[in-house]
Amino acid sequence: MKSKLLSAFILISQIVSATEIIPKPVTRNETEYSFVIDELTSLVYEYGLCDAAAYLLEYVPLRRYSVIPDGTNAVVLKTDGNMAAEEYALNVGTDGVTITGGSYGGVFNGMQTFLQMLPPKIYSKHCRLPLQIKCGDIADKPKFDYRGFSLDVARTWIPADKVKRYIDLLAYHKINKLHFHLTDDEGWRIELKSHPEFAKTGGFRGGDSPVHPRYDKFDEKWGGYYTQEELRSIVEYARVRNIEVIPEIDMPGHSKALGAIRHDILCGYTPDTSISNGLDIRNVWCAAKESNYALIDDIIREVSGIFTSEYIHIGGDEVNMEQWRKCPDCQRLKREKGLANEKQIEDYFIARVTEILARYGKKPAVWNEAIEGGKLPKTSRVHGWQSIRHCKQSTDKGYPTIVMPGEYFYFDMKQSDGEFGHNWAAIFDAKKVLSFDFDKYGFTDAQRKCVAGLEASFFSEIYIAHSPEKSDYLDYMLFPRLCSFSEVAWSDVKRDWDEFYKMLKDSHYDRMQAMGISFRLSTPKVEYADGIMSASVDDGSTLHYTDERTGKTFVYGKPFVCDAPTRIVFHSEYGTARSRDIGSKEYYAEQKPATTVTTSMPCSEKNPIANAAKYSNSIARTTRAAHRGDWIRYDFAEPVSCREIKAQTGHIHLYRCLFLDGHVEISYDGDKFVRAAELHNGGAVIRPEKPVKSVRIVADGNSDAEDNVVIQSLKIK
Ligand code: TNX
């Protein structure tokens, strides 16, 4: 008691302000009192909540008890069978804290809310007592039982300890499913005792591996895989954090890595192992070979023994039907089984795999394309990814549907134009994620009943080019978009963006800092008028600017005179959080001078050479690969004064359709050309000294990566 008074005294000068909780609880009320957690506060919990208690002790160093003493000066964890599984009540009185949950998951959710009510430093796990917490009551439960996140570890290898770090970050945001995308064209990440070569070879690409790089790290052998022991430890780590891990073996398409090791799984086996760094459709399991189903049995048997989830995701997306159309065995199967088309071959394949799953007590989850054949059993869980329309179609057909349209929930999409990432679904930031709303898309009650939950995701094909060994890029792509996602997946109480953003800045930025997240800050406002450059932020972060000509960076204090022929790039920082780079358009616009583009190679009708003169996203494609001496030439209508010209062949978001070996020449008069730079990965930057009339990219060797070349517009600054 003496110590209790003492700690109350120490804290007397501190005002405990209520922190905002994310996701927002259903109901919350507060009193003006507070409770002090000190060295004498004990943790009291039911026997079945041992793991939850141990988890809490990592963050809050309480004394540990397992039976309820008199209930005062204690944090009590208990369950109440009358509550829904993940529901919880959190009551903070002047004599203690009680967290009551419908099950382990409910208690865990309550604990996360409790942690958010404590100072952010508790996330460092080195927090010392005493700690003060506002008294009040929270009653809360999730909108969806399935609040998922899918992580693609096949395209870019993410080691187990890093996966566990993300499991922690998901748990802080009450996400309860991890959809683990473990296999794809670019990698096989699961150790199988029955087929050790799948992971030992398929986990690595580049170098002497038969698996070829497609997006980056072209020259090194790079990758990894999880041992079964590591996978089990991930499953267990996630379980303690109320997260179920759902493994995905992506079949029958997206299987190029495995096909590179086991050619016999592919259609019409030919020993065609020729290298393709780019688009390669030899990635579909043959549906007609009985030996394939025996192999799938081996895989599912082992995977079932590792993962405790009742579901295994078996893929079903983007299957290249052409392979089956060309395969005599698949065509025979089609006739024999009376299948109407290739889509029904996919149905047949999935039905066979579903039978295998059932043998091991598992159910299938599939991507939305798998419903197209019309025969997918209704017990399959469908992940709608292509669009909201596809999600609706799946609910219309009565499938339990995980709603994850790319345009809202694919966090590999860019967050604004000019940033990195994909853009096939949309370009969006946390504000759009928060705006996701079934009403807006007219989901009927019947359709809503089939929505099993929401899922956000990160596909990693271009992550490989962004220092995957550091957390900056992935953190930046995920946060705060994942914060918005956690709100829409959990909470029925609508917060608009202004309120949500204020909560982020006032409460959650500091928490994310303490969680060690290098999240993305909003874009600074940069203005240039009357020769004065000025910039501002709305979130208390520190502004920096870099002079691109000198490469020097300064902290921004106040508006400054700016007339140098350079680009000034601003960004803001808050601890390890960072905004995108942004310059003032008025001050240094990208130039788009009138250009004529010609080439020595024949071009496709669909992507004509004229596209390359447009300075838009449209590209030109040739109809063959480049040979030594081939050229692409850009002639400007008028000589162009500029600081830099970037010439690029190929396209990172497509395939390696580039000049593998070549150089760039410039001409000041449109007649005489001088060699200006060597190509690296199909591109080069030149910094001309005088106004330029023409640019020419010349191939010095053959481009055998692909059977066509992508020609882009020049980028001129
Ligand atoms: C679509 S998600 C895919 C992935 C890509 C992703 C990139 C799905 C079923 N297919 O293979 O990685 O887009 O955003």
Structure tokens given for 661? 């070996």
Find out whether the beta carbon of 461 lies less than 6 Å from any atom of ligand 1: yes
- Nearest-CA neighbor of 312 among 372, 255, 368, 357? 357
Ligand 1 site, residue 179, Cβ cutoff 6 A: no
Is the shortest distance between the CB of 407 and ligand 1 below 6 Å?
no
Structure tokens given for 709: 């070349």
Question: Does ligand 1 come within 6 angstroms of the Cβ of 367?
Answer: yes
Nearest-Å Rg of the Cα atoms of the chain is 29
Q: What is the per-residue pLDDT for 350? A: 97
pLDDT digits (tens, 9 = 90+) for 391-426: 999 999 999 999 999 999 999 999 999 899 999 999
Q: Is 422 in the pocket of ligand 1 (CB under 6 A)?
A: yes
Would the CB of 410 count as within 6 Å of ligand 1? yes
Ligand 1 atom at minimal distance to the Cα of residue 413:
14
Amino acid sitting at position 352: R
Omega within 30 of 0 (cis) for the link into 400: no
Closest to 242 measured CA to CA, from 50, 52, 60: 52
What residues have CB less than 8 Å from 518, skipping those under 6 apart?
471, 472, 475, 476, 576, 577, 578
- Strands, E assignment, 605-687: 620-621, 631-640, 645-648, 662-667, 673-678, 683-686
412 lines ligand 1 (CB under 6 A): yes
Which SS3 state, helix, strand or coil, does residue 377 take? coil
Residue ID of nearest Cα to ligand 1 atom 11: 459
How is residue 417 annotated by DSSP?
A: T
Q: Are strands 451-458 and 568-574 parallel, antiparallel or unpaired?
A: unpaired
- Paired strand residues for 27: 139
| Ligand 1 atom closest to the CA of 412, numbered from 1 | 14
User: HEC states along 513-578?
Assistant: HHHCCCCECCCCEEEEECCEEEEECCCCCEEEEEECCCCEEEECCCCEECCCCCCEEEEEEECCEE
Is 181's C-beta closer than 6 angstroms to any atom of ligand 1? no
What DSSP string describes 442-511? T--HHHHHTEEEEEEEE--TTGGGS-TTSSHHHHHHHTTHHHHHHHHHH--S---HHHHHHHIIIIIHHH
**Nearest CA owner, ligand 1 atom 8:** 317
Q: How far is the CA of 464 from the centre of ligand 1 (A)?
A: 15
For the CA of 369, the nearest atom of ligand 1: 9
User: What's the Cα-to-Cα distance from 132 to each of 10, 11, 12, 35, 97, rounded to whole Å?
Assistant: 10, 7, 10, 6, 11
Give the list of residues 6+ apart from residue 180 with CB closer than 8 angstroms, or none.
150, 151, 153, 234, 245, 246, 247, 248
Residue 100's nearest CA partner among 84, 72, 68, 76 is 76
- Amino acid identity for residue 62 in this structure: L
Q: Which of 284, 427, 458, 459 to mutate to test the pocket of ligand 1 (most atoms within 8 A of CB)?
A: 459
Q: What single-letter DSSP state applies at residue 190?
A: B
| Span from the CA of 291 to the centroid of ligand 1 (angstroms) | 28
DSSP string, 126-137: ---S-EEEEEEE
* Ligand 1 midpoint to CA 590 (Å): 31
Angle between helices 290-306 and 228-240 (to 10 degrees): 50
State in Å: Cα 312 to ligand 1 middle.
18
Task: Provide the CB-side half-sphere exposure for 239 (13 A, CA).
Answer: 12
Pocket flag, ligand 1, residue 704 (CB < 6 Å): no
- β partners of residue 184: 187
By most ligand atoms within 8 Å of CB, the mutation choice from 150, 152, 185, 317 for ligand 1 is 317
CB of 383 within 6 A of ligand 1: the answer is: no
436: nearest Cα among 444, 428, 447: 428
Phi-psi sector, 73: left (phi>0), alpha (psi -120 to 50), beta: left
Q: Which of 281, 313, 385 to mutate to test the pocket of ligand 1 (most atoms within 8 A of CB)?
A: 385
Question: What is the Å distance from ligand 1's center to 140 Cα?
Answer: 34
Q: Residue 162 C-alpha to ligand 1 middle, in angstroms? A: 22
Residues 303-329 have pLDDT tens digits of 999 999 999 999 999 999 999 999 999
- 228 contacts 236 by C-beta, under 8 angstroms: no
Sign of torsion over alpha carbons 545, 547, 553, 558: negative
Nearest by Cα to 56 from 147, 127, 149 = 127
Q: How far is the CA of 459 from the centre of ligand 1 (A)?
A: 6
Ligand 1: centre distance to CA 628 (Å):
35
Coil, helix or strand for 622?
strand
Ligand 1 center–CA 207 separation, angstroms: 25
Helical residues (DSSP H) of 267-327, grouped into ranges: 290-306, 321-326
Q: For residues 178 and 192, is the Cβ–Cβ distance under 8 A? A: no
| Contact between residue 492 and residue 437 where contact means Cβ atoms under 8 Å apart | no
Please name the residue whose Cα sits nearest to atom 12 of ligand 1.
459
Is the minimum distance from the CB of 385 to ligand 1 under 6 angstroms?
A: yes
Return the residue whose CA atom lies nearest to atom 10 of ligand 1. Answer: 317
Q: Token pair for residue 137?
A: 């009551």
Taking CA atoms only, the protein residue closest to ligand 1 atom 7 is 459
Residue bearing the CA closest to ligand 1, atom 5: 459
Q: Which residues of the chain have pLDDT under 50?
A: 1-14, 271
Question: In sequence order, what are the residues at sequence separation of 6 or more whose Cβ sits closer than 8 angstroms to the Cβ of residue 440?
Answer: none
| Residue pair 412/476 in contact by the 8 Å Cβ criterion | no
Question: How many CA atoms within 13 Å lie on the side-chain side of 53?
Answer: 22
The verdict on the CB of residue 463 being under 6 Å from ligand 1 is: no
Q: How far does residue 656's CA lie from ligand 1's centre (Å)?
A: 18
Overall size of the chain counted in residues = 717
| Ligand 1 contact, 459 CB (< 6 A) | yes
Taking the C-alpha atoms of residue 147 and residue 452, their distance in angstroms, rounded to an integer, is: 9
Residue 243, token pair as written in the block? 């997260």
Verify whether ligand 1 is closer than 6 Å to residue 317 (CB atom): yes
Instruction: Please give the Cα distance from 116 to 475 (Å, whole number).
Output: 20
**For the segment 76-111, what is each residue's pLDDT rounded down to a tens digit?**
999 999 999 999 999 999 999 999 999 999 999 999
Question: How far, in Å, from the CA of 457 to the mean position of ligand 1?
Answer: 10
Q: 661 CB under 6 A from ligand 1?
A: no
